[in-house]
């Protein structure tokens, strides 16, 4: 853990105040090519990771769902199609370029009527206590400066009985996989970033930020610290990704 004055930005230590701006610059740079790059980087497997998240969220008709750091809105779109006109999905992102990209995509896909958008910092959510049945954050938590604040906020806005899910890159559980994965992320990713999105540095940051993100057990204890009960996690693709889930009871 870093002290109060500096925090991680990938492998670099940067002043806390600067991290948010630098993360914003990364996502401003990748916003328009984000979906294509995600497909390339994960070789399409991110769709299965998101499907599993939807399964564990178990959202149903009429519920109110908050999707944080929603990016281009893959999860939010699925939830909106499930909750129907009686429910509501609020899609938020701290980055305006990403949120606009997501909104344009969803409107084009015909997802309207039960979808709201908010430019919001996950550390300080502009929503009432106990106002959502489900809160999700998919591939967003590692970019948040103070992760514990974000988890606390997720707990605060959940209704009793509600559940929160964190879908995030994590730490591979086996050594050989870990080595292959390192090789892939530090050589292939920046190359793909340069050719497809014209920006190798942003993708190097993504690879580094994944390594600096808390491992499965640490994140689990952070969720418990935030107040979540029956917190647990499942590893996907050998722990490259994990879904943490906790309830507010």
Kindly list the residues in this chain that would bind other proteins in the complex (CB under 8 A).
Answer: 47-48, 51-52, 54-63, 78, 81-85, 87
Q: How far is the CB of 137 from other proteins (least distance, A)?
A: 18
* C-beta closer to other proteins: residue 56 or 188: 56
Six-digit token string for 245: 């889930």
Q: Least distance (Å) from other proteins to the CB of residue 42?
A: 14
Report the residue number, 106 or 207, with the smaller CB distance to other proteins.
Answer: 106
Count of Cβ atoms closer than 10 Å to residue 60 Cβ: 12
- Cα-flanking dihedrals φ and ψ of residue 218, to 5°? -65, -45
Radius of gyration of the CA atoms of the chain, in A: 17
Shortest separation between residue 215's beta carbon and other proteins, angstroms: 22
Kindly state the tokens that stand for 130. 């106990």
Q: Which is nearer to other proteins, 15 or 85 (CB)?
A: 85
Q: List Cα–Cα distances, 169 to 49, 121, 207, 215, in angstroms.
A: 10, 20, 10, 9
Partnered with residue 64 across adjacent β-strands are: 88
| Residue with Cβ nearer other proteins (83 or 167) | 83
- Nearest approach in angstroms of CB 123 to other proteins is 28
99-102: long-range pairs with CB below 8 Å, 24+? 99/70, 100/31, 101/31, 101/32, 101/34, 101/72, 102/70, 102/71, 102/72, 102/73, 102/76
CB of 175 vs other proteins, minimal distance in Å: 26
Q: Closest CB to other proteins among 31 and 223? A: 223
């Amino acid at each position: 853990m870093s002290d109060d004055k500096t925090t991680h930005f990938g492998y670099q230590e940067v002043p806390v105040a600067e991290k948010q701006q630098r993360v914003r610059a990364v996502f401003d740079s990748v916003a328009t090519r984000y979906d294509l790059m995600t497909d390339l980087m994960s070789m399409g497997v991110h769709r299965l990771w998101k499907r599993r998240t939807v399964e564990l969220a178990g959202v149903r008709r009429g519920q109110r769902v908050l999707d944080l750091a929603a990016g281009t809105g893959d999860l939010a779109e699925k939830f909106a199609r499930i909750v129907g006109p009686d429910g509501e999905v609020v899609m938020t992102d701290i980055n305006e370029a990403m949120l606009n990209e997501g909104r344009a995509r969803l409107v084009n896909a015909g997802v309207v009527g039960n979808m709201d958008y908010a430019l919001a910092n996950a550390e300080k959510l502009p929503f009432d206590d106990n106002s959502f049945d489900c809160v999700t954050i998919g591939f967003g938590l590692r970019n948040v400066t103070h992760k514990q604040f974000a988890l606390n906020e997720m707990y605060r806005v959940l209704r009793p009985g509600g559940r929160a899910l964190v879908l995030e890159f994590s730490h591979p559980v086996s050594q050989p996989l870990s080595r292959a994965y390192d090789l892939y992320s530090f050589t292939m990713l920046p190359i793909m970033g340069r050719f497809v999105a014209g920006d190798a540095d942003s993708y190097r940051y993504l690879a580094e930020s994944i390594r600096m993100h808390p491992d499965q057990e640490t994140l689990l204890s952070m969720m418990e610290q935030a107040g979540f009960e029956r917190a647990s996690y499942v590893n996907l693709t050998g722990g490259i990704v994990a879904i943490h889930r906790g309830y507010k009871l």
